[in-house]
Structure 1
Amino acid sequence: MKHKFAFFVCLIMTVSYGQGVIQGTVIDKESRQPLAFANLSVKDSNQRMVCDVNGKFSLIGASKNAVLVCSHVGYEKGEFHVDEKNSKAILIELMMSHNELVEVVVGGDNPANAIISKVIANKELNNPERLQTFQYSSYNKIIYDYNSQNKNDSVNIRLKLKGSHFFMMESVTQRKFMKPDLSEEVVLATKVSGFKNPSFASVATDFQPFSFYQDNIKFFNVNYLNPISKGSLKKYKFHLEDTLINEKDTVFIISYKPKKHKNFDGLKGLLYINSNKYAVQNVIATPAEKGKIDIKIQQKYSLIEGVYWFPEQLNFAIQFNEFPKKEMPMIIDGKTYISEVKINLPLEKKKFSSQLARLEEDATTKDSVFWKKHRIESLSSVDVKTYRVIDSIGEKMNFDIYLTYFEKILQKKWPLKYVDIDLSKTLLYNKYEGLRIGSGFYTNEAVSKKITLGGFMGYGVKDELFKYGGEFVVHVSKKNEFDLGVYYQDDLMETGGYGKDLNRKLFFDYRKFIGYQYDYIKQLGLSVHFRSFDYFLWDIRLNQTDTDPKYLYEFNDNGTSFTQYKNTSVRLNLRFAYKEKFINSFNQNISTGTKYPILYLSYTRGVKNLLGGNFDYNKTELALEHSFYIKSLGNTSYRLEGGYIDNTLPYGLLFTGEGSYDKGVPFIMENTFQTMAPYEFLSNRYVNLFWSHNFGGLLFKQQKFQPILSWHNNMGWGALSRVETHQFIEFKTKNKLFLETGLQLDNLIKLNYMNLADIGFGAGGYYRYGYYTNPEFKDNVAFKFTLNFSIK
């Protein structure tokens, strides 16, 4: 049925029977969409008001024979004659204007700039997330539809869906907040058309920020400069469109858009500024540049306790401009109503969890009495029909099964009836094995929620060897991610401990493809995995490993030679992410990241003569990585790492593998040296720094050609004790500083992907210089390609 659904708009008029009350809605005549914050006045009177975020208004004490004058920035002014028959359900339609308004300048100064300056000066005072604490409840509603410009398509879609929306979801939440950044939102109820047990829900901040006071407004991973941030007067053009004078306050309506020839990601829209503390009362914002996906937000604020400006309603509209096709784009309309606001409550830090949002266990089972009580906006007849129609389709097609598949894919699994296929162990490739044909199978929740039993098997086409293994895991606590396990494997391990536990985080990692130097291991181990104090993730393992290098090598230590060896070790891996936040959705905790650096620690203690182990040693690796956005400059990332081993060990247990230069796989590989061969250097102690700055689209903005520029600087130092112990294998030591720098240009070429995004192809050039410069210039230069997705 996809490609044949239609957009269907239904406006519900609030009916009131009170004497002298005039109610209605203001809409765009062509799109039939409500016009948020339209200005309304009664002709020949002092009555004036601003419609709400849904374009609705309610005038009390007005004459039933009044003439309403309505205006909105960018629209022709309209009048509406009220009579007894229509006073409770007035529909005012405004036509879009094609005339550019003339900017008002008094004495050479732009009055809008003076107002915006006061808004910026009062940002900290009016920002709700600068309050000590607050708490509120919210009702969220999201509707998915197709907006067909072809009447025949619209008719066909309506027939297919029997007059309902394509998709709809609701939720009721409670949120609490403590300055500076403690936040927790509990989803009390969730209801999703087509699903009996949805494991996800909508919250107020899914698609937009909670308030419009952040320096950068983030939509779909793009940071847009806020028009009320410091320095915005140099980059935005402001225009005072209208002034509304109420009994106590004045509301200034100001339009804004980026100035010409200013390269930055900007917004455009309207600001309604109240003279009471020069706070944002209403805001409309959308990206100034049109992309594959457009988003528009509308926010309304109200004065709480006569002192604090606080969000009252948050709306958003997302349009997929070319999906499924230009003539019939998909649109998503979301509304959040905030109520029961409480300011400066005596909240306790220890009662906040690391989960930004989580579902109550009974969130999917709330009855109609609960929903009737908490729905601030009643369901329309189309909404009711949506649940009836889509629920019946969902039951027939078993949507809940598809949801299970999606949940598993997020965990790199593919579910079968009683087992899951481990996608991370399916059809692997590296230069030593070539293609590894095989997979892994592990029991799932249908067998037991407390125990997982399974294993993997694979055959290397090039090395003609079978690899296999198995494990048994007891899940002690899902909340604390506490698991106990025992495992065995006959498998390959890439030489060098470099980054094995600290760096290889990606499911799809080019660095895995270029590996060609491996040890064959037979390993038996015990494992303990758990999370503590919210931010600490621990993994402890006791391993007994027999190692057989699959390359010509001999380790000669004080007259004792090894070609094969045994290693018994206890290893501790720790990840510490201070104030990392999670969203509990799709039956798992999904990290939203942290603004602080993330610390990784790996410590291994080798024990000689324990279970036949040949070596005594201490091996420590540390890594610190951080990424942060700098207003008007872009995003900076770095990774600082180092390692130390206190004893002489065989090649495979030392540090190597930090290079990623391979002519056959010419792709940029994050946190590696782009001009260094994979195993060029060998160390038992090292320090590396990988630093990059992404300017985004700040430097180039030429219509559709907007490449993204990144600048990279990498450096490293290492040393190796007793070089003579390693026989029959080539390597270097980097006891001088290794240096390289590079420039990367993404999105040089864009190809449309399913009308949802662009696949961007880019390239980068890196230059190796300093002490380890190669004799030939061409050997110091590496040209590599990049691949990314973009909605701009």
Structure 2
Amino acid sequence: MMLEGYGAYGFRDQKFKAFTNLRYNLGDGELNRFPYNQLRLWYQDDIRIPGQDLMFVSEDNFLLSFKRGVNDKMLYTRTIGAEYFKEYRTGFSYTFAMRNVRQTPVGALKFDYLSRNVAGDRTDTLYKPFVTSSEINVMLRYAPNEKFYEGGTYRVPIVTRFPILELSYDAGFKGVGESDYNYHQIRFKAEKYFFIAPFGIANVIVEGGRTFGQVPYPLLTIHRANQTYAYQMENYNFMNFLEFASDKYASINIVQNFGGLFFNRIPLLKKLKIREVVTFKALWGGLDAQNVPDANNSLLQFPTDAEGKPLTFSLQPNKPYIETGVGIANIFKILRFDYIWRLNYNENPNVQRSGLRVRIKFDF
């Protein structure tokens, strides 16, 4: 059994934040050894950016503290959950989870919505204090021949030629734990490394998802953005926080590491083992009419700036959001620099079209 957590106090908002996580081993082996057979109970009350997961410690967390642009729309998120996780030596695993999540706007973020009066001759702006959801989740994962570097409290997967497949289903229940919404969400993700001699290794991730039901934007897919100067592998590094929301989406993320194909021709760079990297990310998405806020459905209005101009959008049909970049990796074994270009949707407010990003990664 392992009990872990943290506590913190914010002097600006004068609020406590906390996380408690209890993991109990149901198998015969050690808690953090493959294959897992665990029960987990957790409670978390913290602040986060909409669409961004609450993060634990990683090598470049300090870089995430430096943000560009406006970053004044946040959520207090309180989560209570229980999860059972089972792995098999075949590479198959499954997770069954239940959770209740309450999201409360803070800063410049407001949960406002339009509502017509009974006579239908007037539209009022009303405010909702929080959004609560109660859901169950089932996750299926297949990663044949997966191996790990295992430590006392962590493990790191070893890159192989075999694909990793994930299928996730969420069901939300209205009336349970103060939840106001019924919905279903399905997500699929596939990841594979391609070893292409003499061109190095290509890491390809494809992902897609669909939300069924009428829900406010905090329960839609708010695409993973990045307004920091740290390069984030699965986020869109020049997308603004809260910029795009979808109830259906598909994406592809390609990272080509040439393994010194070009730099090895230069003696000094060959000795330093610096690597060349090219990246490409594309995201397709959209919203059904029922999930576009208006006075008839009383859904939460998309966020706006101080002048009332919209900040959150739906992706246009047949027009994916695209980023591409070039990078230099394995500098002193831990540093990577990428220069990224955002290729479209540059008419949106507060957009940065290109720039340099850095990543710190310790390789095992």
Q: Same fold (TM over 0.5)?
A: yes
For 1:476 and 1:573, locate their aligned partners in 2 and report how far apart those are by CA, in whole Å. Answer: 19
AA paired with 2:323? E
SS of the residue corresponding to residue 261 of structure 2 reads: coil
Q: Does the 8 Å contact 2:60/2:361 carry over to 1? A: no
2:329 aligned partner = 746
2:308 aligned partner = none
AA paired with 1:507? S
Instruction: Select 2:214's aligned residue among 648, 659, 664.
Output: 648
The alpha-carbon deviation at position 517 of structure 1 amounts to: 4.2
For 1:586 and 1:455, locate their aligned partners in 2 and report how far apart those are by CA, in whole Å. Answer: 16
The alpha-carbon deviation at position 656 of structure 1 amounts to: 1.8
The alpha-carbon deviation at position 689 of structure 1 amounts to: 0.9
Q: Output aligned runs, 1:255-404, within 5 Å.
A: none
Tell me the alpha carbon deviations over residues 9-59 of structure 1, each in whole angstroms, 9 at most, x when there is no partner. xxxxxxxxxxxxxxxxxxxxxxxxxxxxxxxxxxxxxxxxxxxxxxxxxxx
Instruction: Select 1:720's aligned residue among 279, 287, 293.
Output: 287
Instruction: Select 2:109's aligned residue among 522, 533, 552.
Output: 552
The alpha-carbon deviation at position 670 of structure 1 amounts to: 1.0
For 1:481 and 1:668, locate their aligned partners in 2 and report how far apart those are by CA, in whole Å. Answer: 31
Change (3 A) 1:602 1:585: same
For 1:655 and 1:607, locate their aligned partners in 2 and report how far apart those are by CA, in whole Å. Answer: 18
Q: Does the 8 Å contact 2:59/2:362 carry over to 1? A: no
Give the number of aligned pairs. Answer: 323
SS of the residue corresponding to residue 727 of structure 1 reads: coil
Instruction: Select 1:539's aligned residue among 87, 95, 110.
Output: 95
2:143 aligned partner = 577
Q: Output aligned runs, 1:136-285, within 5 Å.
A: none
For 1:714 and 1:508, locate their aligned partners in 2 and report how far apart those are by CA, in whole Å. Answer: 23
Instruction: Select 1:489's aligned residue among 16, 33, 44.
Output: 44
The alpha-carbon deviation at position 715 of structure 1 amounts to: 0.9
Higher relative contact order (CA 8 A, sep 6+): 2
Q: Does the 8 Å contact 1:625/1:640 carry over to 2? A: yes
- TM-score for the superposition, normalised by structure 2: 0.76
The alpha-carbon deviation at position 576 of structure 1 amounts to: 1.8
Change (3 A) 1:641 1:672: same
Instruction: Select 1:704's aligned residue among 258, 265, 268.
Output: 268
Instruction: Select 2:337's aligned residue among 742, 756, 763.
Output: 763
The alpha-carbon deviation at position 650 of structure 1 amounts to: 2.3
AA paired with 1:720? L
Q: Does the 8 Å contact 1:762/1:785 carry over to 2? A: yes
Unpaired runs of at least 5, structure 1: 1-450, 751-757
SS of the residue corresponding to residue 177 of structure 2 reads: helix
For 1:512 and 1:574, locate their aligned partners in 2 and report how far apart those are by CA, in whole Å. Answer: 31
The alpha-carbon deviation at position 548 of structure 1 amounts to: 1.3
Unpaired runs of at least 5, structure 2: 30-34, 117-125, 294-298, 304-310
Instruction: Select 1:733's aligned residue among 304, 314, 319.
Output: 314
Tell me the alpha carbon deviations over residues 645-696 of structure 1, each in whole angstroms, 9 at most, x when there is no partner. 1122222222124222x3xx42322122222223221112211111121112
For 1:761 and 1:470, locate their aligned partners in 2 and report how far apart those are by CA, in whole Å. Answer: 32
1:606 aligned partner = 172
SS of the residue corresponding to residue 782 of structure 1 reads: strand
SS of the residue corresponding to residue 704 of structure 1 reads: helix
For 1:779 and 1:584, locate their aligned partners in 2 and report how far apart those are by CA, in whole Å. Answer: 39
For 1:705 and 1:688, locate their aligned partners in 2 and report how far apart those are by CA, in whole Å. Answer: 34
Q: Does the 8 Å contact 2:114/2:301 carry over to 1? A: no
Tell me the alpha carbon deviations over residues 192-211 of structure 1, each in whole angstroms, 9 at most, x when there is no partner. xxxxxxxxxxxxxxxxxxxx
For 2:359 and 2:89, locate their aligned partners in 1 and report how far apart those are by CA, in whole Å. Answer: 38
The alpha-carbon deviation at position 783 of structure 1 amounts to: 2.4
- TM-score for the superposition, normalised by structure 1: 0.37
For 1:472 and 1:786, locate their aligned partners in 2 and report how far apart those are by CA, in whole Å. Answer: 31
For 2:352 and 2:157, locate their aligned partners in 1 and report how far apart those are by CA, in whole Å. Answer: 41
Q: CA RMSD in A?
A: 3.4
SS of the residue corresponding to residue 268 of structure 2 reads: coil
More helix as a share of residues? 1
The alpha-carbon deviation at position 618 of structure 1 amounts to: 0.5
1:466 aligned partner = 16
Q: Output aligned runs, 1:546-695, within 5 Å.
A: 546-550=102-106, 551-554=108-111, 556=113, 562-582=128-148, 591-660=157-226, 662=227, 665-695=228-258
AA paired with 1:769? L
For 1:688 and 1:787, locate their aligned partners in 2 and report how far apart those are by CA, in whole Å. Answer: 25
Q: Looking at CA atoms only, which structure, 1 or 2, has the larger radius of gyration?
A: 1
1:508 aligned partner = 59
1:783 aligned partner = 356
AA paired with 1:705? L
The alpha-carbon deviation at position 561 of structure 1 amounts to: 6.0
For 2:347 and 2:225, locate their aligned partners in 1 and report how far apart those are by CA, in whole Å. Answer: 15
SS of the residue corresponding to residue 90 of structure 2 reads: coil
For 1:582 and 1:763, locate their aligned partners in 2 and report how far apart those are by CA, in whole Å. Answer: 27
Q: Does the 8 Å contact 2:72/2:109 carry over to 1? A: no
Change (3 A) 1:561 1:790: closer
The alpha-carbon deviation at position 726 of structure 1 amounts to: 3.3
AA paired with 1:554? F
Higher alpha-carbon deviation: 466-475 or 555-564 = 555-564
For 1:698 and 1:534, locate their aligned partners in 2 and report how far apart those are by CA, in whole Å. Answer: 35
Q: Does the 8 Å contact 1:582/1:593 carry over to 2? A: no
